[in-house]
Each structure stands twice: as structure tokens, then as C-alpha cells.
Amino acid sequence: MISSIRGEVLSAGTGWVVIAVGGMGFRVEVPTRTPNAHLDAYLELHTQLVVREDSLTLFGFATSEELEVFGILLGVSGVGPRSALGVLSELTPAQVAQAAASEDEKPFRKVSGIGPKTAKLIAVQLAGKLDPRMFSEHHLVGDSTAQGEQLSGQGDPASKLIVTQGLVGLGYAESQAAEAVQDAIAAGAPDDQAGLLRAALALLQTPRLGSMRSSAATTRSGDA
């Protein structure tokens, strides 16, 4: 899983950049208000790779907060990556959190491609999931202090959410995926998203101890 990318901007357009990395150019979809998203700038982004049957699309954000909100938005019914990116082009994470806290759909109506029904759905489904006090406007990838705070520890909320959504994308139920991620963290899974994903998948592909105990108890009950 590509969790970050940094390099010189080879080309740029509205909502996208191509970043030079190791002799290759990676196209990254970004919010339109992303700082330094222009030709010849040096850009550092937190990223999420969205996998579809017919495409692999990399989405990038200047702050870990934007990445976290992007992942949460993807959990809203009817909101895809493009719509989530549109929200973050129009609103800051703090503004999204404030609108969610007050269940106010009006800010989301300003986003191109999001109608009144979807805006209301976003406001309702995000209620209780985002605390405005959690968000500030300065945690950039290049800020080593902020980066350490976000990436240290195995309970990083953004990583947990991204890995959970990745497992959902592979066909697992959200509750099942979330439980596997939490169990993997408790068992000492690596901090990075790729390591956490592998650990959670290993747990999902292994018969759960609780189920084995339940089956054993049922067998003993039947024998009795």
C-alpha cells in the first residue's frame, strides 16, 4: 500500500499532479486547494490507493487530517472517491467536522456533484464520527513532529480506518474487517498500513478461536 509520496511535480492540472519518484511519474488526484500543486514544485503527500476492477487510482493529501476525513467519507453510502475528493476541495477537515457535529448539510451542498439528498446523508452519517477539536490546519507531511504524532503507535486512527476500508473493498463485512484490524493491532502488528493489512488478512483467513470454542461447546452439548 502506498502511504506517502514525495518528489518534484512534473505536470499538474485541476485536481491532479504527476510526481517524479525514482525515475517514474506517478499521477495523484488531489484536492484543488492543495498547496504547491504546480509545475516544478516539490510536493509531499499522504496517499491512499483506491483499487477498482478496472483501475488503480492514487489520491493524495497535504495533511494526514485530510487523508483521515477522506477515508471516513468513503464509508458514507453513495459517496465515492471523487465525491470525497470534491468535499475536501471545498472544505477543510475542521469545516467538515463542524458541519458533521451540527448535522448541517448546507456546506456539503456547495460541493460539485453532490445533491441535497447526498449532502444530508453525509451530514447524518458523519455525526458523532468527527470531533472538530481533533482538527487543525498545519499538520503537513513535511512536519516531522506532526508526522511522528500521526504515525507512531499501532493505534493510529487513520491507518486503522484505511486498512479497514481496504478489507471491506476485498469483500469482508465492515464489522468483521474492523475486528480483524483491532485484533491485529492487539497482537503487535507493524505500524505501517501494509503490515497491518497483511496481519489482519492473516487473521481473517484463519479460523477464529472463538468460533472453534463455540463449535466444540455445541458438539459437547449435542453428545450429552
Contacts of 144 (CB under 8 A, 6+ apart): none
R_g of the chain computed on alpha carbons: 20
180 confidence band (pLDDT: 50, 70, 90): confident
Over range 127-156, report the average pLDDT. Answer: 53
Provide the strand spans (E) within the chain.
4-13, 16-21, 24-29, 42-52, 55-61
| CATH 1.10.357 applies to domain 153-206 | no
Instruction: Indicate where the chain has its CATH 2.40.50.140 domain(s).
Output: 4-134
- Describe the chain by its helix, strand, coil percentages, rounded to 5: 50, 20, 35
Yes or no: say if 59 and 16 are a contact pair by the CB < 8 Å rule.
Answer: no
- Per the CB < 8 A criterion, the answer to whether 84 and 63 are in contact is no
For 27-36, 45-54, 100-109, 196-205, which range has the lowest pLDDT when averaged over its residues? 196-205
Does the pLDDT at position 27 exceed 80?
yes
* Intervals of CATH 1.10.8 along the chain: 153-206
Which CATH architecture is the domain 4-134 placed in? Beta Barrel (2.40)
